[in-house]
Amino acid sequence: MAESSKRILILASKLGYQTRSFAEAARRLGVEVVFGTDRCHQLDDPWADRAIPLHFEQPEQAARDLLARLAVDRPDAFLALGDRPTVTAAFAARSFGLTYNSPESVLACRSKLRQREVFRDAGLSAPDFFSFALDEPLGAVISRVKFPCVVKPLSLAASQGVIRADNVAEFTAAVARISALLESPAVQVTREPGLDRLLVEGYIPGREVAVEGLLDRGRLRVLAIFDKPDPLEGPYFEESIYVTPSRLSEKQQASIVDCLGRSVRALGLEHGPLHAEFRINEAGPWVLEVQPRPIGGLCARALRFSPEKIYLEELLVRHALGLPGSDLSREPEASGVMMIPVPKSGVLEGVEGLEAARATPHVTDIQITARLHDPIVAWPEGSSYLGFIFARTEQPEEVETALRAAHARLHLQITPRLPVSHPVTGKVPAAS
């Protein structure tokens, strides 16, 4: 089959900048792109993208809808961006007879509680944990808690709603804050599973790293290990800087790769992109999370592969479709990305200093993805960054320095957001 006749289905919760980035990579290869999103099916193609409307909270039905809509123009491969579409992708791939992860393995990844159970049963280093329903008496729950701990929802992503607590007062406040988040209209409308429960884990000290990987019919390939040089110690866990190659020792990196391999086998994942998070300390690596999807946002642009100088998006499209070039190696040059943090909630009215920040030595690009005059929300309620700063040079230390210097030259104009009641519930969101 000629490359121009290949067709890829991209499943995403929204057709934002990450989705466009992958679609552009596919089109550069002459590949036809079909979108599947969980937008309202009653609207008549509001974004003029011809996307297939789906309900990702009903993955088996969404897969049947895809099979019916694409029975003639069948896709040659799937890419799921973000956590929500991965289960739909697994059921759909099974229906179409395409190589992908099994629905059972992806379902295990969608619940932080189920992942913890899988890792514990596989003998992997994991913190003590338990889950409780939000309607349980808090006094009985507190008696089970060992401090310090981390409290989190079962299924939200990007550290949204994740809070560290060092004592009873902080734990009580964290539960109340996360409960309010889970009851908010913005979260309730997603119909995510487990919104009536929380997970409590022992806090793991140490350095945090991320691993970007690729599975090919069970064979694991590590594309990059990212250091996270900022101390992610809480009380909230908004990520910021990723830098590769890692400055950890070869022995430590090997132990992380080994831990990732065992984690993947325990979950039963087989094929496609991987993004994993680890803590590492004197006891070795601790797996925090493994997800069968690529790194979020525009962070994929931090990884470039030679000799063709293609970015991760194109590499993953090539791999999904079985096109040549998916085995290219990452460039040896150090690179990194800063996810621009949200310093406070409000309305973004302006960004000053962009030209000065872009002129910072070794900075290759800055993308402000938050829209002016739109509300922005800080962590732990938030989950979207203001934008991305990219840098590339010889040494990872210089990359980190460049990212911090560029960020220091940006000046964000954020004004308070006036409280507005929700049109359906009538509730006024709590200030954060």
Domain final residue pick, 103, 138, 168: 103
Q: What's residue 429's pLDDT? A: 54
- Structural domain includes residue 270: no
Secondary structure (3-state) at 126 = coil
Question: Nearest CA to 181 among 195, 167, 166?
Answer: 195
Please indicate, yes or no, whether residues 165 and 198 belong to a single structural domain of this protein.
yes
CATH of the domain at 354: 3.30.470.20
Q: What's residue 3's pLDDT? A: 45
Question: Nearest CA to 78 among 319, 404, 393?
Answer: 319
Domain of residue 408, residue span = 334-418
Which secondary-structure segment (H or E) carries 391? strand 387-393
Question: Nearest CA to 161 among 127, 112, 202?
Answer: 112
- Structural domain includes residue 211: no
- Structural domain includes residue 94: yes
Least confident of 53-57, 89-93, 264-268, 425-429: 425-429
User: What single DSSP character describes residue 243?
Assistant: E
Please indicate, yes or no, whether residues 97 and 132 belong to a single structural domain of this protein.
no
Domain final residue pick, 181, 202, 223: 202
- Structural domain includes residue 228: no
Share of the chain above pLDDT 90, in %: 89
- Structural domain includes residue 317: no
Q: What's residue 44's pLDDT? A: 46
CA distance 327 to 158: 29
Please indicate, yes or no, whether residues 96 and 132 belong to a single structural domain of this protein.
no
Secondary structure (3-state) at 136 = coil
**Cα separations in angstroms, 208 against 156, 204, 326, 338, 408:** 19, 10, 28, 15, 23
Share of the chain above pLDDT 70, in %: 93
Does the pLDDT value for residue 190 go beyond 60?
A: yes
Q: Residue 423: pLDDT band by 50, 70, 90 thresholds?
A: low
Instruction: Give the total number of structural domains in the chain.
Output: 3
The mean predicted confidence, pLDDT, of the chain is 93
Contact assessment for residue 71 and residue 92, using Cβ atoms and an 8 Å cutoff: no
Q: What's residue 15's pLDDT? A: 78
CA distance 386 to 27: 27
Please indicate, yes or no, whether residues 21 and 89 belong to a single structural domain of this protein.
yes
Q: What's residue 426's pLDDT? A: 54
Q: Output 373 or 14, whichever has higher pLDDT.
A: 373
Phi, psi of 380 (to 5 degrees): -90, -10
- Structural domain includes residue 99: yes
Q: 230-281 pLDDT, tens per residue?
A: 999 999 999 999 999 999 999 999 999 999 999 999 999 999 999 999 999 9
Please indicate, yes or no, whether residues 14 and 91 belong to a single structural domain of this protein.
yes
Q: What's residue 67's pLDDT? A: 96
Q: How many CA atoms lie within 13 A of 429 on its CB side?
A: 20
CATH of the domain at 79: 3.40.50.20
Please indicate, yes or no, whether residues 93 and 140 belong to a single structural domain of this protein.
no
CA distance 125 to 127: 7
Please indicate, yes or no, whether residues 94 and 26 belong to a single structural domain of this protein.
yes
State both tokens at 204: 């793991």
CA distance 210 to 230: 13
Q: Which residues contact 22 (CB under 8 A, 6 or more apart)?
A: 10, 79, 81, 313, 316, 317
Does the pLDDT value for residue 74 go beyond 50?
A: yes
Q: What's residue 1's pLDDT? A: 37
Please indicate, yes or no, whether residues 19 and 95 belong to a single structural domain of this protein.
yes
Does the pLDDT value for residue 60 go beyond 60?
A: yes
- Antiparallel, parallel or unpaired: β 310-311 and 284-291: unpaired
Q: 2-56 pLDDT, tens per residue?
A: 445 899 999 998 878 899 999 999 999 999 999 999 865 444 444 446 799 999 9
- Structural domain includes residue 257: no
Does the pLDDT value for residue 109 go beyond 50?
A: yes
What's the farthest any 2 CA atoms get from each other in the chain? 64
Does the pLDDT value for residue 131 go beyond 90?
A: yes
- Structural domain includes residue 412: yes
Q: Residue 419: pLDDT band by 50, 70, 90 thresholds?
A: low
Length of the chain: 432
Counts of helices then strands in the chain (DSSP H, E): 12, 22
Domain final residue pick, 53, 69, 103: 103
Q: What's residue 417's pLDDT? A: 85
- Antiparallel, parallel or unpaired: β 149-153 and 77-81: unpaired
Omega of the bond leading into 380 within 30 degrees of 0 (cis) = yes
Residue 249, Cα to own-chain centre: how many angstroms? Answer: 26
Secondary structure (3-state) at 253 = helix
- Antiparallel, parallel or unpaired: β 346-352 and 411-415: antiparallel
CA distance 35 to 236: 34
CATH of the domain at 198: 3.30.1490.20
**Cα separations in angstroms, 352 against 236, 358, 381:** 27, 12, 25
- Antiparallel, parallel or unpaired: β 32-37 and 52-53: parallel
